[in-house]
Amino acid sequence: MIVNHRPSKSLQLAEKINPFGAVPLTPFRSISASIQAGAIAVLISVAGMPIAQSQDVAPKKIVDIPDSLFQVQDQDGFFWQLTGNGALTSGETQYLQSGMNLLVDNAVFAPGEALVRAPGEGVSKIDAVFTETRKDLVISRDVWIDTKRSGVRFFDSIKNTGANPVDVVVVLRTTYPFGWQSLHDTGGDLLSSDPVLRLDENDNGLTVHFSPAEGRHDTLFLTGTDAEGGEPALQASTNSRELTFQYNLSIKAGETASLYHWMMQRNLQSPASAAEVIPQFSQRNQLINPGVSSLQAVSVVNFPRSAFPDETAAPSRLRELLALNELMDQIGWHRRRTDAHWLGQTNQISGELSRTGSLTITGNEFGERVVPLAQIAAIRGNSGNEMKPFLYLRNGEVLTGDLAEAKFDWKVGESTKSLSIDEIQLLLLGTEVSDGAPPAKATHFVKFSSGVILAVDGSSSEPLDYTASWGAGQISLSDLVELGYISSPNPGFILRTGAGSVFNAFLPMESGSFKGLDGKTIEFPMVMLDAIWKTGATSLEVSARSGQWIEFAEIPKSIAPAGGFLLSGNTVLAGRFEDEMIAFNDGRASLSVATENIVSLTRPGRDAGSDPLRFEIVLKSGDRISGSPVSPLFGIALDGKAIEIPVAYLQSYRAAPGEAKAK
């Protein structure tokens, strides 16, 4: 039998906690499958992610900078157009006339060169660094468009290259084609204008609020505060269309002064809703992923140095804590080096949890385990509900089950209180260097539908049996990059192999097993299996695609094999032709082609009445021919066995570079 059903919470990678104490289950991102009846089922559309974060593309140097560089849309749907002097507009959308236009000593910033990473294939960070050289001054602007958080970071630096101290006036000007309704602090209160427009001592930004009746959204600025006068002087035009931040900087010879800001576009229900946006960029007086190094942060004048986390606060493998990071994204929180008790969106208490002692937890998947508190990154407690507690370990494992009675020494200020698991909502322990480092000998993580994640020794585990549309198969864990479950429109698993194949399959109903790190066998009902991934993975993205891939150029580079077959349903098989020759019909004539001489095989554009099975073939000689395969089936050599696929399902083929033979 094969597994074809799952419990309702089987796709959950992390559990979402709401501020009312309930813990609803949020399914992990799923993808659509199209399984057809017949000799072959059309399989899966999947956008796999690389196991290790790839190097970003190098920025392009531009000396003759055009007036406009590029336009990009962030995840909230707002457009940003980067101009040639580092300012922003809202592109084709009538909203921003000029955002954060930089003026130094009453002269508009006029960069002579720029290093630009525009949106495109392989670009994970969209940014640009502009530089202008003046007499005794070097001015630079670093603009980072963070599409994921839907905000733009500005890092402006002025270096005094002269022999004497200088006083510099820096103005950041934002203009709109229409007037705003009001200006507010990030708490939603109107900005004080007595005696002049200003931010209060505890304000770290402001909101430009427009009339919702006119269908216009708002702008948020994160400006920072500093006890030594680093806050900006605000000026607003009488027609409510121009807002400026002014800084008066005194810079010693050879030194640099920098300004750090964020700008966001948002549809706010009210100005007070800005308080829900700021935690994406700043929490507990520290910036989240500020995008500048600690060395650069030293020169910032409008934020205190303590606002920039040290590099050691973000361990190099922190992104490998997939389940915990998913949970952090869901609640909008960011772990720091300090501990915190998360009670809801509006209540978080900083403190310190004693690391002395250990916890004993018992679960169906792992039996009884004793876990030192020092090895735990987060604890999700009962907090008045009937769900079992979860322990998120620093090595990437997640344990849930029955917890032996335990008390947690929680210190807030000078007061220490003993907490039970029933009093804990979500206890987040500070980051440490060991976060994300998998256990020794671990090759894979296995996730079960209960939420348990265990590290296993894939090199010593038995191969995994599966049934694909072309028949039964087997794959060793050492060859498996990722396995994930989908429930809609048809249930089944997605397998992604190290060779580059991506396909849909079913797993046997019988019990499965993996080898634990202690050498013992972990047995489980196959119906409880939810996902498998290699250690070192920083993301497991499985998403639906709006269209069908018809050629290799459309496949994401992270999963496209060097050579192989693209089939209908976005199925990718990293194999070779099984047959030495393939016969093609071209009208009344027929010709046979040696498969070892085929470089690529693609479907041409279809016209009305054209043969849907006609292919264009490129040979190693450089010749191009076309024709329709005579046989309705063709063979693929895949993982040491031959499978037959209907020609109707073939979209494209390309030979691997340097491949000499077809078999």
Q: Are strands 564-567 and 571-573 parallel, antiparallel or unpaired?
A: antiparallel
Higher pLDDT, 283 or 595: 595
Instruction: Return the HEC string of 261-288.
Output: EEEEEECCCCHHHHHHCHHHCEECCEEC
Does the pLDDT of residue 93 top 60, yes or no? yes
Dump pLDDT digits (tens) for 433-447: 899 999 999 999 999
d(CA 234, CA 242): 11
Using alpha carbons, list the distances in angstroms from residue 415 to 2, 354, 450, 524. Answer: 57, 13, 37, 45
Task: Tell me which H or E stretch contains 295.
Answer: helix 294-297
Whether this prediction's pTM lies above 0.85 is answered by no
Using alpha carbons, list the distances in angstroms from residue 419 to 381, 410, 422, 425. Answer: 10, 7, 8, 11
Does the pLDDT of residue 40 top 80, yes or no? no
Count of other CB atoms within 10 angstroms of residue 368: 11
* Percentage of the chain modeled with pLDDT above 90: 55
Dump pLDDT digits (tens) for 445-470: 999 999 999 999 999 999 999 988 88
Pinpoint the alpha helices (H) of 316-377: 322-331
Q: Within the chain, what is the greatest distance between any pair of CA atoms?
A: 92
The pLDDT-based confidence of 303 (bands split at 50, 70, 90) is: very high
Q: Dihedral of the CA atoms 122, 127, 133, 136 (nearest 10)?
A: -130
User: Which residue carries 């679960």 as its tokens?
Assistant: 363
Averaged pLDDT of the chain: 84
612 contact partners, CB below 8 Å, separation of at least 6: 606, 648
Does the pLDDT of residue 178 top 70, yes or no? yes
Check residue 69 and give its pLDDT. Answer: 94
Lowest mean pLDDT among 288-302, 544-558, 582-596: 544-558
Check residue 565 and give its pLDDT. Answer: 92
The pLDDT-based confidence of 342 (bands split at 50, 70, 90) is: confident
Higher pLDDT, 588 or 179: 179
- Please report, for the chain, how many H helices and E strands are present, in that order: 2, 51
Q: What average pLDDT does range 89-95 have in this prediction?
A: 88
Question: Residue 122 in contact with residue 57, Cβ under 8 Å?
Answer: yes
Higher pLDDT, 317 or 38: 317
The region that residue 658 occupies, defined by phi over 0 for left and psi between -120 and 50 for alpha, beta otherwise, is left
User: In the chain, what are the helix, strand and coil shares in percent, each to the nearest 5?
Assistant: 10, 45, 50
Instruction: Give strand pairing partners of 166.
Output: 251
Q: What average pLDDT does range 606-611 have in this prediction?
A: 62
Question: Residue 228 in contact with residue 163, Cβ under 8 Å?
Answer: no
d(CA 44, CA 545): 10
Q: What average pLDDT does range 519-542 have in this prediction?
A: 87
Q: What is the residue-wise DSSP string for 575-620?
A: -EESSSEEEEEETTEEEEEEGGGEEEEEPPPP-TT--TT-EEEEET
Q: Which amino acid is at 244?
A: T
The pLDDT-based confidence of 568 (bands split at 50, 70, 90) is: confident
User: Which residue carries 């335990």 as its tokens?
Assistant: 406
d(CA 534, CA 461): 14
Closest of 2, 9, 14, 6 to residue 377, by C-alpha? 14
d(CA 146, CA 73): 10
Q: Tell me the chain's radius of gyration from C-alpha atoms.
A: 29
Does the pLDDT of residue 260 top 90, yes or no? yes
Chain centroid to CA 61:
27
Q: What is the residue-wise DSSP string for 519-559?
A: S-EEEE-GGGEEEEEETT---------SS---SGGGS-TTT
Check residue 192 and give its pLDDT. Answer: 83
Closest of 82, 62, 57 to residue 72, by C-alpha? 82
The pLDDT-based confidence of 541 (bands split at 50, 70, 90) is: low
Check residue 295 and give its pLDDT. Answer: 85
The pLDDT-based confidence of 55 (bands split at 50, 70, 90) is: very low
d(CA 395, CA 7): 27
The pLDDT-based confidence of 166 (bands split at 50, 70, 90) is: very high
Question: Residue 653 in contact with residue 598, Cβ under 8 Å?
Answer: yes
Instruction: Give strand pairing partners of 624.
Output: 618
Residue 588 exposed, middle or buried by CB count within 10 Å (0-12, 13-18, 19+): exposed
Q: Which tokens sit at 72?
A: 């990009």
Question: Residue 223 in contact with residue 230, Cβ under 8 Å?
Answer: no
Q: Which amino acid is at 412?
A: V
Does the pLDDT of residue 51 top 50, yes or no? no
